[in-house]
Structure 1
Amino acid sequence: MRRKSIHLTALLWLCFGIAIAQPITIKSANIIASNAIPSPVKETTVKMLTEEIQKRTSIVLKPITTQPKSNEYTIALVLSSDKELVGKAIPVSTDKNEPEFKAEGYRIVTELTDKGGIVWVIGANARGVLFGAGWLLRKATLLPKIIQLESKTNVATSPEYPIRGHQLGYRHTANSYDAWTVAQFDQYIRELAIFGSNAVEGIPFHEDENPSPHFKIPAREMNVKLSEICQAYDQDYWVWTPVTFELTDTKKRTDELNLHEDLYKRCPRLDHIFVPGGDPGDNHPREVLPFLKELHDRLVKYHPKGKIWLSLQGFSVEQVDYFYQYLRENKPTWLQGVVSGPSSPPMAETRYRLPKNYQHREYPDLTHNVRCEFPVRQWDQAYALTLGREACNPRPYEFAAIHQTYAAFTDGFVSYSDGCHDDMNKVVWSMRAWDTQMDVREIMVDYSNFFFGKDLADNMADGIAALENNWKGPLAQNGGVEATFAFWKGMETKATPQLNENWRWQILLLRAYYDTYTRRRLIYEQDLEKQANSILAKAPQTGADKAMILAWEVLEKAEKMPIGYELRKKIEQLCQTLYNSIGLQTSVPKHKAKGYERGCLLDFVDYPLNNRWWLEDEFKKLKPIVADSNAKVMARLKVISTWENPGAGSFYDDVSSTSKGPRVKTIVDDATDIAWWDNGFSRARLSTQTFQNNPELVYDNLQADARYIIRVAGMGEALLRVDGKRLSPIVYNRENETFKEWIVPLNVSQDGQIKVTFDEPEESHLNWRKHSKVSDVWLLKQ
């Protein structure tokens, strides 16, 4: 481990009869910076400390250039290579192996009494000073007219991983970044740096061709502004630049090279060019690699230390092998390393095959909840249908574990992000890349202390963790959602006017309201469907037409007598507030979001959480044929009313539901995936919109002498095995919401147990969204 930490505070234990030292209260302070700290980071750090302290305390740090007075408080910014500061000795270690001598490391030393003293921020380099100042802002108690610090603190640390960054693409695809001003980007990049980030990735090209309606300035200008901000904060500036045309097209290739060169010469800082190999893009590496060499030739004309990176995303086995063969034969010095992202080869394999002189960077998706690299495992379908891919998603404990799993194979990361909704996840990754042993709750307390204030820090940390727990297990059974809501309602009553204007507070509060509204609606609407199915089951006695009419009257209550009006109203208010404060686009019609999949939770807040849309369509199909085909209608109504309740001795599993799939044993990434038909407004039965590709189910306590039939609903192929034996179907329909059926041999089920599995069909020629799906499985006793 590269990090070393020493934390000596003036705590004298009461068991020794000595009172514990109290924090020092500071009501005014100076700030001084060593002339050895290079510009512009020196000026940026002074400005950052001055502005952030003033916002929270109204105390304005006074800049000085002479030796600090002993009866005043001073924050001193120095380098570990400095011998002294205006005649004042610097408390730096003589051991060059200490953290403040390692890249980006720092030491914080406080020498304070109740009359004055110095807070030393000692950095290994300019970045070390910046990050040390960030530590001070995260840890200090900043109250109106007061700064509180421990009188004796000695903390030293340096990062474990050299690359710690986040993608902030100024493009319409993002759900908020495209609405930001230069000042908002500056503030956000500052805040990321305070939590240990050292890199920003832009997406510079082709956005002016189809500009976002939210752009404050053209993309061509904003990407240069991002470079300028990175220069000020000493953040590496990366750009993500896919090649979406055929590289054999000479004209397009030349035009693209010229486009790149134009950006290169306009950016004051540009450190890394990252070209995703095949996501998007369809070029073979034999074309991509020479193109990257040409990019490097143009890059170093303006940025001599600039570096080129490539991901192997979407590459076939042959293409991946070609890439490594190229490295062995050509040993390109212009290539800095490989990026691993979604659809890349396994990270362990990449690090193993990649020569040690090349770096390996992760490209983790911190922004999406479903249909992504790290989906929320076994996410309740009600959330997946309504919150969707890009809702506010603090997952601190889960992402800390994910980072721990993969970090050891890399030199760090630059995350994939499409908006500010994943803010907590960015902070967790930055801090854990700095120190993989850092306590997750400590990170959340620091986050809450800095953004919400010391008085709320512990409670807010717990409230954020509670929101993560809201997404665990079946929603209807998760009573913790109501407890979380009660907590946030209590916090809301204490919120100050300043907190109400804080977008981070607004977005977390939105989640608390949205989760609760969704749960209450789920319970209510599912109960209405049960009542409707009971009515349909009596159709043989009442008549099909009357049964459908009565059932629909019950289902209509979801819209005519909706639940949670006040919650619904608050959700709409918070969505509008977030659009005004941070440009968060939660609706296509109201906020001009690029698409419904891009965080538009307001557009899905009332999406049915029962099957009433599907049932309405089924009734419309059946009513015209009641008189002529009553038997057919009755048979269909029986299938509908018993879909989830097939009768005594029979079993039903919705393979993607944590509450309705008790026999499903597989826990896989796509277990809560949504097919995403009709821009999310599909009227299909809810269970058929979710799926697994190859689920595994186990049945026990079966009747030894009974005959069973397995029925499957889904799309495409279903290559079924029972206890390892492939069965031949007696019914085999491939369309959605139609059935496939197999007879279970008696000699297999006579022991009272069977295991059902599915072989994976050969569908490598198809897009992943078109692969075969299994959504519902029945074991029907005959």
Structure 2
Amino acid sequence: MQRYQPISKRIFLIAFLFLCAFQNILAREYKNIQVVMGAMASPVEKKIAALLAARLTETGYAHVSLSTETALSQDTPSALLIYLGMAAHHNGIRNLMKIKRIPELTTLDPGQEGFLVKSVSEGTRAILLAIGKDDRGCLYAVGEILRKAVFKDNSLQIPDDLNVRSAPAFEIRGTQFGQSHIAKNLAKVRPWTDEETQRVILDYALAGANIFSTPPGKMFDFIKSFGLMTLGEFNPNEAPEVTDPAWAATESIGRPGYVCLSVPEAREHILKKCEKRFSKEPAYDFIQFKGGDGGGCECDLCKPYGLKFITLSEQLAGIIHKYHPGTRLYFTNQKFNNEDDNAIFAYLREKPRNWLWAWGYGPGSDATSWQPGHRQNHRMDLFQYPGFGPYGLYPLEIIRQMPPQHKLLYFNEITHWKYAQHAYIQMYPRADKNGDLPPPWSHEIYERRPDQALTMVYNRLTFYAWPRYYHRVFNDLMRYGAGDVTHSSGHHDHFNQWMWQRLLWSPRQTVEAVMHDYCTTWFGPAAAPEMGKAIFQLEENLEEKKEIPISKKEGINRYYTLVKSAGLKIPASQMKKDWLWRMYMQKGALDLYTKLNVRQQLSAQSKIEETIRKSAVAGLSVKKIDEMLSLINMDAESQEMVKLRLEATKLSDESNANFGERNDGIYNLKHDFIGLGWVRRQLERARLAKAEERKQLLNMIVSYEDPGEGGYYDNLGTANDAPHVESGYPYDHGQPYVAQMLSESNRPSQRSMHFTQDEDQGVTLRYTELDTTAAYKIRFTLVRPWYQERYAERMNQKSESIYANDVLIAENVELPLQMSDFFTFDIPSEAVKSGEVVIRFERNANVAHGSRISREQWRNSGGWGTMVSEAWLLKVKK
């Protein structure tokens, strides 16, 4: 299966450089600027005008004043006048539109929320028209000015031929905002001030956003004051305040805080809760009835849960519309299964449901991709023709099934770089409860994996950018929807969110055009080319490439050099407070530190292996082994590593001081990336062993995968070479990848494994063409993961039995917790007399044999029935 490939990088580079080279060829510089409001400017227009004046003033490159057209100074003919507002409220704009024969702004030209930004002249005066179709159009005109302006020396540069008439392509364009818990707890950032939070909101609004998810309060009022929209949410079965166990939902992974909608008292409680809340709160423009992050109920009385959910949502809508009749409502089907969705489709087609505006599509909503969160079944019938690929199949089906009055609104997750809706899956998808796995042609999205060293350093909510892949995801998905209010868990996804808003405005932009826009806006035209190349490179660096491990990734060094060089081209006055460049530079220093750390560990391992090879292995002394042990020092740092760590620390302190931002990796650099802990354990065992046993222990260090003549080795796990596996699939741990689940002292091959769940057929390996006259042994690497407390109580699996052609060779073998070990068993001679042997694992009799609900909760939270990391079939010399 050919994986998704972007257009030639060379074409990207040529186009990107072309855009950079030709920006502002014809431009005039202004040292004095007057922002001129209309005589009848609305309160929103006045705030927007003040915003433009403030953003221009803070650069320090020009003198900026704010006035109304009735108080316009006549003494500054060399000043640039920016006429800002709606034509109906601004006499100067109306007159110039008439004189210059400029067509009025309409709902189709340029469109709702549209604007015109145009350079004109009146006698000797230079005027920049910034005309909004409506209030928000004025705000977006300001965004266009700030993107096109170049700040140079003591002046502002504006293209002489600036003429942009534009409107958004999508009706709904929004996101969430704020600092993540990871930033606050792991990266130890200072809290944002109210002014900084407001700045973030406006940054996204200036890029094109028109709606923000927020509770009532100061930020709610601030958002509304700029004519923007607000989004609230209500989960129809979330009730952490309820303590009565008779009301409790059987949630998909057993979490508390949810109620069963089949319990009349619980349902009534939710209705009263809704009434109490929305009778007091201000009116939202939109409210999302959230399907929940696993918040449904799995009990038999609630089946299909989707029907319980949607009928209660209708009652809730009646309550909300009683107080706020203009609020538009939608729901999300997160983690609903096929039966739930089908019940909602039938409900919508039964009769007009005028209370509902849209079907919301978020993490876990997709019935044609196996994403973290484990939707329990999938629409396999939709895979017969790929169309635009797996991401686009189910949105198209939703549109086909729904009555035409309802829209599709996205809640796309572009905030995590691993273990998320459109992120690196990190481990291969497990079979759903029907035993279904994705067809081979869609494996591309599961074969994308995060660099295994970088994933140890950085949290899911770390600073990153994904221009090419997210551009592909946007184009696969958004053609079917009315817009998107993206899921953002912090500010680490700055580029992704900014790009999303620009694409919602103009979806046919190329990825290099968006990158050019981003880099010139945030770093200036001189630094933009190198920053653009660096961010494209960053995306490549994040991905695991089997043929190019991190120790050989020249892209790590290239990124570091590009960002460093770009920083020299950012004006000094801007650089003083440029938190964003510092975040990109921190990433470069920390990635390069990690690369050097991996190299250092590989060097230590190589020296140990060389010592073993050069010595008479059986005769290696205890002293020699102690010398090898001394080479293993996880805290060792080269001078270059120290320099990089100090650089990243300085940058992180500055970005935190400037804007409450810091890369979490600065506090998480020390790791065993390659399994030196296993080498240490092997050496310590050899130190205590005698003669032949010592030889075997040391020989395994230098020839780990070698099964010997006539033998076979299988490395089970994602993207590994395991040709003899015929049943099972790579283990995905069932939850966000938690560092404590497996010891870092395991070799990388020991950390990944194949497993089965509640299937009767356990992990199975088949060996053929064996020597029927020889004896064989089978050796396994076995280990089991640790579970977080909320999952551990239902994880009773600790052991498994092993069969060779239905002959029991090991019964109830207990897998070691977190740190792997080897287990070797003789294969009975009768099992290989046909020249073929099937090795089969069988789950313990008390594992996955309970009620349907308990089994589903066990599966959904990462339960395993059989599990194995590595296998060696060893031919024994007679």
Q: Which residue of 2 aligns with 1:196?
A: 208
After superposition, residues 396-475 of structure 1 pair within 5 angstroms as 396-472=467-543, 473=545, 474-475=549-550
How far apart, CA to CA, are the structure 2 residues paired with 1:324 and 1:196?
33
Letter in 2 for 1:66: T
How far did residue 414 of structure 1 move? 1.4
Are 2:674 and 1:610 equivalent residues in the alignment?
yes
How far did residue 279 of structure 1 move? 0.9
Are 2:155 and 1:146 equivalent residues in the alignment?
yes
2:815 aligned to which of 724, 727, 735: 735
- For the Cα contact (< 8 Å) 1:113–1:151, is it kept in 2? no
How far did residue 644 of structure 1 move? 4.3
2:551 aligned to which of 476, 485, 488: 476
How far did residue 355 of structure 1 move? 2.6
How far did residue 121 of structure 1 move? 2.0
How far apart, CA to CA, are the structure 2 residues paired with 1:448 and 1:238?
29
How far did residue 383 of structure 1 move? 0.7
1:373 aligned to which of 412, 421, 427: 421
Q: Which residue of 1 aligns with 2:331?
A: 310
After superposition, residues 120-139 of structure 1 pair within 5 angstroms as 120-139=129-148
Letter in 1 for 2:862: R
Q: Which residue of 1 aligns with 2:86?
A: 79
- For the Cα contact (< 8 Å) 1:378–1:671, is it kept in 2? no
The count of aligned residue pairs is: 716
Question: Secondary structure at 2:162's aligned position in 1?
Answer: strand
How far apart, CA to CA, are the structure 2 residues paired with 1:298 and 1:634?
77
How far apart, CA to CA, are the structure 1 residues paired with 2:573 and 2:104?
49
Q: Which residue of 1 aligns with 2:50?
A: 47
Letter in 2 for 1:571: A
1:530-553 Cα offsets, whole Å, 9 max, x none, are: 333455676852358556533321
After superposition, residues 340-351 of structure 1 pair within 5 angstroms as 340-346=361-367, 347-348=394-395, 349-351=397-399
Q: Which runs of 5+ in 1 are unaligned?
A: 1-19, 205-222, 587-599, 720-725, 750-755
Change (3 A) 1:170 1:512: closer
After superposition, residues 359-398 of structure 1 pair within 5 angstroms as 359-376=407-424, 377-398=448-469
- For the Cα contact (< 8 Å) 1:67–1:85, is it kept in 2? no
- For the Cα contact (< 8 Å) 2:212–2:229, is it kept in 1? yes
How far apart, CA to CA, are the structure 2 residues paired with 1:768 and 1:443?
39
Q: Which residue of 1 aligns with 2:225?
A: 232
Q: Which residue of 2 aligns with 1:272?
A: 286
Letter in 2 for 1:155: V
How far apart, CA to CA, are the structure 1 residues paired with 2:653 and 2:279?
40
- For the Cα contact (< 8 Å) 2:586–2:651, is it kept in 1? yes
Q: Which residue of 2 aligns with 1:643?
A: 704
Letter in 1 for 2:331: L
Are 2:564 and 1:489 equivalent residues in the alignment?
yes
Q: Which residue of 2 aligns with 1:334?
A: 355
- For the Cα contact (< 8 Å) 2:149–2:156, is it kept in 1? yes
Question: Secondary structure at 2:56's aligned position in 1?
Answer: helix
- For the Cα contact (< 8 Å) 2:177–2:201, is it kept in 1? no
How far did residue 697 of structure 1 move? 14
Change (3 A) 1:383 1:93: same
1:478-529 Cα offsets, whole Å, 9 max, x none, are: 1121122222333445562541432211111111101111111111212212
TM-score by length of 2: 0.70
- For the Cα contact (< 8 Å) 1:231–1:269, is it kept in 2? no
Q: Which residue of 1 aligns with 2:31?
A: 27
Letter in 1 for 2:507: T
- For the Cα contact (< 8 Å) 1:394–1:425, is it kept in 2? yes
Aligned residues with identical type, % of pairs? 19
How far apart, CA to CA, are the structure 1 residues paired with 2:419 and 2:639?
30
Q: Which residue of 2 aligns with 1:163?
A: 172
Letter in 2 for 1:147: L
Question: Secondary structure at 1:566's aligned position in 2?
Answer: helix
How far did residue 47 of structure 1 move? 1.7
2:341 aligned to which of 306, 310, 320: 320
TM-score by length of 1: 0.78
Are 2:281 and 1:281 equivalent residues in the alignment?
no
Give the alignment's Cα RMSD to 1 decimal.
Answer: 4.8
Question: Secondary structure at 1:345's aligned position in 2?
Answer: coil
How far did residue 81 of structure 1 move? 6.4
Q: Which runs of 5+ in 2 are unaligned?
A: 1-23, 239-256, 298-304, 368-393, 425-447, 757-762, 785-796, 841-846, 849-854
Q: Which residue of 2 aligns with 1:688?
A: 750
Letter in 2 for 1:552: L
Question: Secondary structure at 1:61's aligned position in 2?
Answer: strand
How far apart, CA to CA, are the structure 1 residues paired with 2:327 and 2:721?
52
Change (3 A) 1:172 1:776: same
Question: Secondary structure at 1:60's aligned position in 2?
Answer: strand
Change (3 A) 1:357 1:98: closer
- For the Cα contact (< 8 Å) 1:227–1:269, is it kept in 2? no
How far did residue 109 of structure 1 move? 1.8
How far did residue 555 of structure 1 move? 1.4
After superposition, residues 110-121 of structure 1 pair within 5 angstroms as 110-112=119-121, 115-121=124-130
1:617-645 Cα offsets, whole Å, 9 max, x none, are: 5566776x637xx7666545544543345
How far apart, CA to CA, are the structure 1 residues paired with 2:875 and 2:683?
28
How far apart, CA to CA, are the structure 2 residues paired with 1:490 and 1:323?
55
Tell me which moved more, 378-387 or 736-745.
Answer: 736-745
Letter in 1 for 2:218: K
- For the Cα contact (< 8 Å) 2:713–2:872, is it kept in 1? yes
Letter in 1 for 2:258: F
How far apart, CA to CA, are the structure 1 residues paired with 2:636 and 2:541?
25
Question: Secondary structure at 2:357's aligned position in 1?
Answer: strand
Change (3 A) 1:667 1:550: same
How far apart, CA to CA, are the structure 2 residues paired with 1:500 and 1:690?
45
How far apart, CA to CA, are the structure 2 residues paired with 1:748 and 1:118?
88
1:700-719 Cα offsets, whole Å, 9 max, x none, are: xx999999999765668999
Question: Secondary structure at 2:212's aligned position in 1?
Answer: strand
Question: Secondary structure at 2:346's aligned position in 1?
Answer: helix
- For the Cα contact (< 8 Å) 2:632–2:676, is it kept in 1? yes
How far did residue 126 of structure 1 move? 1.5
- For the Cα contact (< 8 Å) 1:375–1:669, is it kept in 2? no
Change (3 A) 1:621 1:418: farther
How far did residue 295 of structure 1 move? 3.4
Are 2:565 and 1:504 equivalent residues in the alignment?
no
- For the Cα contact (< 8 Å) 1:109–1:119, is it kept in 2? yes
After superposition, residues 1-12 of structure 1 pair within 5 angstroms as none
- For the Cα contact (< 8 Å) 1:247–1:288, is it kept in 2? no
How far apart, CA to CA, are the structure 2 residues paired with 1:728 and 1:577?
65
1:152-211 Cα offsets, whole Å, 9 max, x none, are: 232222222222211225774665899222211110011001111122113x5xxxxxxx
Change (3 A) 1:134 1:563: closer
Change (3 A) 1:662 1:482: farther
- For the Cα contact (< 8 Å) 2:178–2:491, is it kept in 1? no
- For the Cα contact (< 8 Å) 1:529–1:611, is it kept in 2? no
Change (3 A) 1:116 1:326: same
Q: Which residue of 1 aligns with 2:437?
A: none
After superposition, residues 702-781 of structure 1 pair within 5 angstroms as 713=781, 735=815, 737=820, 765-771=858-864, 775-776=869-870
Q: Which residue of 2 aligns with 1:89?
A: 96
- For the Cα contact (< 8 Å) 2:530–2:562, is it kept in 1? no
Are 2:65 and 1:61 equivalent residues in the alignment?
yes
Change (3 A) 1:667 1:439: farther
Change (3 A) 1:455 1:526: same
